[in-house]
Amino acid sequence: AQRTGRMQLIDGRGLKALLQEQLGIDALIGLPKVPPGWVPADLK
């Protein structure tokens, strides 16, 4: 963001994968309902 002056938004699946890859954290993303186009397994 500092180089381009822009921020990149990361969706829940991307954030979960990024946390796992970079920090070794298996995050649980709690949502009140499954977003359109997702399946419940995407939240696990």
Reported as a single tens digit per residue, the pLDDT across 18-33 is 999 999 998 887 778 8
Structural domain containing residue 1:
1-31
For the chain, what is the largest distance between any 2 Cα atoms, rounded to a whole number of angstroms? 37
User: For residue 23, is it within any domain?
Assistant: yes
Question: Which positions ≥6 away from 1 have C-beta within 8 Å?
Answer: 7, 8
Question: Which positions ≥6 away from 35 have C-beta within 8 Å?
Answer: 12
User: For residue 24, is it within any domain?
Assistant: yes
User: For residue 12, is it within any domain?
Assistant: yes
User: For residue 37, is it within any domain?
Assistant: no
Q: pTM value?
A: 0.54
Confidence (pLDDT) at 1: 62
User: For residue 44, is it within any domain?
Assistant: no
Domain count, the chain: 1
User: For residue 42, is it within any domain?
Assistant: no
